[in-house]
Amino acid sequence: MVWVAVPVEQVSSTEIKRYIDFLLEQGLQAHTINCHLSSIRGFYDYLKDEEELVAKNPVIRGLALRVPHPLPKHVKDNDIAEFLKSVKKPRDLAIFMLMLRCGLRVDEVANLTLDGIDYTRSQILVKSGKGAKDRVVFISHDAAVALARYLQIRLDTAEKKVFLVEKGKYRGKPISVRGIQKRIEYYSKKSGLQISCHQLRHTMATQLLNADADLVSIQEILGHTRIKTTQRYSKLSNLKAERDYHGAMEKIMAGASQQGIQLRGTREKQ
């Protein structure tokens, strides 16, 4: 199919927009269309650099389509309870509780060190988290209990990282990120629930928001660089939205009721 009836050096952003419309009509997704645009942009770069053809690149800034980002999925409370029932190893339970209650990423759990745990302040120091930034997270009572139970039976070793491989030739070595992911896959299959490490972290964020925790505080705990990342959870927090709606509506209706009484009183006087 011939898309333009003019030489390539005369193609403008208008033709590119029509091409985008055609691809959309064909049912292509934004990511695929952006790949097409990238190819066209690269072609014009080639013409300029290799063929020395003077032509303005028609794929201008802003033409690329916005790729939708799926909202993070949280786990329902009853599913969390069912999942945790299937976890029998103290080490694995402690790992999952740190994700669920402290919002740790899987790599942050794998890299957690003994000196980062402060039981006196109920805090954990996350060293070199995402973006190579340190941050402090807080530990709930149930997560602290799960962690303490594991530490009581942890292998006696000089290894500084908290969570260790317990069997096989790597016994006593730090458990890897993939090792943790395999454990949650095992328990997901055992419980019949599809749960990932990242979902546990998302669940904590949603639960905090439903419990009226401040968005900025959640951002700090999760280690998000931008508040926009944390704001995505507000779209998931239906419970909080419901409470906010009914609370605000009660105030609105109370005000309207008072105004209505005054209006009736005014009509009666007239």
Domain containing 141 equals 77-235
Which of the residues 130, 149, 161, 173 is marked catalytic? 130
pLDDT at 240: 64
Is 45 a member of any domain?
A: yes
pLDDT at 75: 81
Which of the residues 74, 91, 202, 224 is marked catalytic? 224
Is 1 a member of any domain?
A: no
**Nearest by Cα to 224 from 13, 58, 72, 27:** 72
* Residues 223, 135 share a domain: yes
Is 241 a member of any domain?
A: no
Question: Would residue 105 show up in a list of annotated catalytic residues for this protein?
Answer: yes
Question: Would residue 201 show up in a list of annotated catalytic residues for this protein?
Answer: yes
Is 160 a member of any domain?
A: yes
Question: Would residue 130 show up in a list of annotated catalytic residues for this protein?
Answer: yes
Domain boundary (68, 86, 101) is at: 68
Is 64 a member of any domain?
A: yes
Which of the residues 74, 91, 101, 105 is marked catalytic? 105
Q: Cβ atoms within 10 A of the Cβ of 162, count?
A: 25
* Residues 226, 179 share a domain: yes
Count of domains in the chain? 2
* Residues 63, 96 share a domain: no
* Residues 81, 58 share a domain: no
Question: Would residue 69 show up in a list of annotated catalytic residues for this protein?
Answer: no
**Nearest by Cα to 96 from 190, 172, 237:** 190
Give CA angle at 37 (49, 57), nearest 5°. Answer: 40
Is 264 a member of any domain?
A: no
Which of the residues 127, 149, 173, 198 is marked catalytic? 198
Task: Give me the CATH number covering residue 104.
Answer: 1.10.443.10
* Residues 91, 36 share a domain: no
* Residues 210, 88 share a domain: yes
* Residues 207, 145 share a domain: yes
* Residues 89, 29 share a domain: no
pLDDT per residue rounded down to tens, the chain (270 residues): 456 677 777 788 888 888 888 888 888 888 888 888 888 888 888 888 777 777 788 888 777 777 766 655 778 888 999 999 999 999 999 999 999 999 899 999 999 999 999 989 999 998 875 656 788 888 999 999 999 999 999 999 999 999 999 999 999 999 999 999 999 999 999 999 989 998 998 888 888 887 877 778 888 888 887 777 777 766 655 566 666 667 777 877 777 666 665 544 444 444
Which of the residues 74, 201, 202, 240 is marked catalytic? 201
Domain boundary (46, 68, 90) is at: 68
Is 19 a member of any domain?
A: yes
CA–CA dist 102, 123 (Å, integer): 9
Give CA angle at 112 (102, 148), nearest 5°. Answer: 70
